[in-house]
Amino acid sequence: MDRRTKESLWNRFLRGSGFSRADETQSSYEPVAPTDEGTVRMRLIFHGRVQGVGFRFMAVTLARPRGLTGWVKNEFDGNVTMEVQGPGESINALVEELHRQRFIRIQRVDRERISVDTHETTFRETQ
């Protein structure tokens, strides 16, 4: 198979997945958590193409090594809700890394600071 055929097949795959080259440039990243304090807990609602693209799996995979706790779940309206707690810089690093994922396209993040849950021990997917 020559190079042009491979590129053509790849482009058809990307179009079928809803991904386009124009999507590769992310909107400017805005921090979601305060960075000048210790542990914070944030409720984040992600809008965009965030379901069916491995968002929850990646969130868990990226949050646990950072020592973050909380949960992530799909909503019926197509958004993803996350409650995450830990240092503000770690939360911001998690969201920034989610922005960089290949098929995830975050258009907007609604954020709300909520009270810390001192009994939580891990980050998980929930229903």
CA distance 49 to 109: 12
From the list 74, 79, 113, 124, the catalytic residue is 74
Q: In what order do the strands lie in the sheet with 80-87?
A: 105-114, 39-49, 80-87, 69-74, 123-125
From the list 49, 56, 92, 105, the catalytic residue is 56
Closest CA to 42 of 27, 63, 26: 63
Catalytic residue list contains 92: no
Mark residue 3 as left, alpha or beta (left: phi above 0; alpha: psi -120 to 50; beta: remaining).
alpha
Catalytic residue list contains 113: no
Q: Do the strands 105-114 and 69-74 form a parallel or antiparallel pair, or are they unpaired?
A: unpaired
- Positions annotated as catalytic residues are 56, 74
